[in-house]
């Protein structure tokens, strides 16, 4: 509720709260940033299976047209980044390989669809601290996904991610499909204290190291 203590979160080394997970419901009263602000933009997104179990939400991002031109990072930024508009032909495992040099600093990645961007997806990334996030931004923003790719990686700092209520279209797919505590590839637990967990658009979670070994383009689940 308070509007006075918003600026110190970026500087402290404390563990950031996990805004990437739908389970942490965002208190609307915490939102100090109006979504129509001139330094931020809001994008609707979804993940999961439309028609069965779909997660919908809104990501609020610092606009990159302002901050990349001034080469100044948003003052109130947090260790959360969004890689916007990744071409669909870049598979999740390709994306893991792309950011492999930072993988030990990436706690979690979540792939989502943005409304109206059917041939692209976006990746919400939670890093272990602000320095890692800043380094990730400086290293990858504007970088080509590969030497054969025209597309460059577009990195934006996340202001907030707000999840709408889970839209359940069928009652038989209950909570079990929501959070998979085991990696379907290696069958080890997906410990949240561990880094490098990737959640695909179909809402299945893996170790990045495991999905990297998966050469098939379809989901292993």
Residues that bind Zn ion (CB under 5 A): 183, 185-186, 202, 204, 207, 210, 219, 221
Give min distance, CB of 218 to Zn ion, in A: 8
By beta-carbon proximity to Zn ion, the closer residue of 167 and 185 is 185
* 60 or 197: CB nearest Zn ion: 197
Nearer CB in complex with Zn ion: 61/183: 183
8 A C-beta contact, residue 140 and residue 153 = yes
Q: Alpha-carbon torsion 140, 145, 146, 152, what sign?
A: negative
Which is closer to Zn ion, CB of 66 or CB of 202?
A: 202
Alpha helix ranges (H) inside the chain: 64-70, 92-98, 130-140, 208-213
Backbone angles phi, psi at 201, to 5 degrees: -60, -30
Distances in whole angstroms, Cα of residue 219 to Cα of each of 64, 179, 199, 205: 32, 16, 11, 10
Secondary structure of residue 206 in the 3-state scheme: strand
Nearest approach, Cβ of 210 to Zn ion (angstroms)? Answer: 3
Closest separation in Å from C-beta 198 to Zn ion: 10
Least distance from Zn ion to the Cβ atom of residue 185, Å: 5
| Shortest CB 205 distance to Zn ion, Å | 9
Q: Are 56 and 167 in contact (CB under 8 A)?
A: yes
- Our CB check for Zn ion shows the closer of 170 and 221 to be 221
């Amino acid at each position: 509720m308070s509007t006075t203590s918003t600026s110190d979160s970026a500087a402290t080394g404390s563990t950031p709260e996990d805004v990437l997970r739908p389970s942490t419901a965002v208190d609307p009263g915490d939102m100090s940033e109006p979504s129509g602000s001139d330094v931020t933009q809001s994008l609707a997104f979804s993940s999961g299976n439309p028609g069965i179990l779909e997660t919908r939400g809104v990501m609020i991002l610092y606009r990159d047209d302002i901050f990349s031109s001034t080469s100044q990072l948003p003052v109130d930024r947090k260790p959360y980044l969004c890689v916007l508009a990744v071409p669909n032909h870049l598979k999740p495992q390709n994306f893991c390989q792309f950011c492999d040099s930072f993988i030990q600093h990436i706690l979690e990645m979540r792939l989502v669809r943005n409304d109206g961007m059917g041939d692209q997806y976006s990746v919400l990334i939670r890093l272990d601290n602000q320095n890692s996030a800043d380094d990730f931004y400086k290293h990858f923003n504007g970088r080509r996904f590969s030497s054969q790719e025209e597309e460059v990686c577009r990195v934006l700092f996340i202001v907030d991610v707000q999840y709408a209520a889970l839209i359940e279209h069928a009652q038989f797919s209950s909570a079990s499909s929501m959070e998979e505590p085991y990696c379907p590839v290696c069958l080890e637990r997906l410990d949240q204290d561990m880094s490098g967990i990737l959640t695909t658009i179909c809402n299945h979670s893996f170790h990045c190291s495991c999905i990297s070994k998966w050469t098939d383009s379809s989901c292993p689940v």
